[in-house]
Chain A
Amino acid sequence: MNFEEKLQKTFSGTSEMLDSEQFINNLTSARYAQALKRSQAISGYLALIVVLFVGILGFNELDQGAILMDGSYYYSTSIDYDQNEGSEYFDDLALYIMEQEDSEYFDDLALYIMEQEEDIWMAFSFLDELEYDKIVNLMEEES
Chain B
Amino acid sequence: MKTDRELIQEFQRGSDAAFNELVRRYLDLVYRFFQKITPDKMEAEDLSQTVFIKLFKALKKFRFESEFNTYLYRVNVNTANTYFKRNKWRNMLHLDQAPDTGYVETSQEKQWQKEEVWATVVRLPKKQRLVVMMRISQALSFKDIGNILNMTEGSAKVNYHHGIKRVKLLLGNNK
List residues of chain A with CB under 8 Å of any chain B CB. Answer: 1, 3-4, 6-18, 20, 23-24, 26-27, 30-31, 34
By the criterion CB–CB under 8 Å, are A10 and B31 in contact?
no
Interface-side segment among B81-89, B109-117, B146-154: B109-117
- Closest chain A CB from B153 CB (angstroms): 17
* B145 CB contacts on chain A under 8 angstroms: none
By the criterion CB–CB under 8 Å, are B31 and A18 in contact?
yes
- Closest chain A CB from B165 CB (angstroms): 9
Interface-side segment among B47-55, B58-66, B91-99: B47-55
List 12 additional A-B contacts (Cβ < 8 Å) besides A7-B112, A31-B56. A6-B110, A7-B167, A8-B139, A10-B114, A11-B36, A13-B105, A18-B45, A23-B49, A27-B52, A27-B53, A30-B53, A31-B53
- Residue with the greatest number of chain B CB neighbours at <10 A, chosen from A4, A10, A17: A10
Using known A-B contacts A15-B103, A16-B41, A17-B28, determine if residue A1 contacts B23 with beta carbons closer than 8 Å.
no
A15 to B37, CA, bound (A): 12
- Closest chain A CB from B92 CB (angstroms): 18
A138 to B105, CA, bound (A): 113
Q: Is B20 an interface residue (CB 8 A)?
A: yes
Between A and B, 17 residue pairs with Cβ closer than 8 Å are: A4-B135, A7-B117, A8-B136, A10-B114, A10-B117, A11-B36, A11-B117, A13-B103, A13-B105, A15-B35, A17-B27, A17-B28, A18-B45, A23-B23, A24-B24, A26-B49, A30-B53
A24 to B48, CA, bound (A): 11
Interface size on B, as a range, is 20 to 34
Using known A-B contacts A10-B117, A11-B36, A27-B52, determine if residue A3 contacts B168 with beta carbons closer than 8 Å.
yes
* B49 CB contacts on chain A under 8 angstroms: 23, 26-27, 30
* A17 CB contacts on chain B under 8 angstroms: 27-28, 31
A31 to B60, CA, bound (A): 15
* B48 CB contacts on chain A under 8 angstroms: 18, 23
By the criterion CB–CB under 8 Å, are B109 and A6 in contact?
yes
By the criterion CB–CB under 8 Å, are B41 and A23 in contact?
no
Could you tell me which residues of chain B, from 109 to 148, have a CB within 8 Å of some CB in chain A? 109-114, 117, 135-137, 139
- Closest chain B CB from A71 CB (angstroms): 63
A12 to B117, CA, bound (A): 13
- Among residues of B, the one whose C-beta sits closest to the C-beta of A23 is B27
- Closest chain A CB from B110 CB (angstroms): 6
* B36 CB contacts on chain A under 8 angstroms: 11, 15
A8 to B41, CA, bound (A): 20
By the criterion CB–CB under 8 Å, are B110 and A20 in contact?
no
Contact of B112 among A1, A10, A18, A26 (CB under 8 A): A10
- Among residues of A, the one whose C-beta sits closest to the C-beta of B20 is A24
A14 to B27, CA, bound (A): 16
- Closest chain B CB from A42 CB (angstroms): 16
- Among residues of B, the one whose C-beta sits closest to the C-beta of A9 is B110
- Closest chain A CB from B26 CB (angstroms): 10
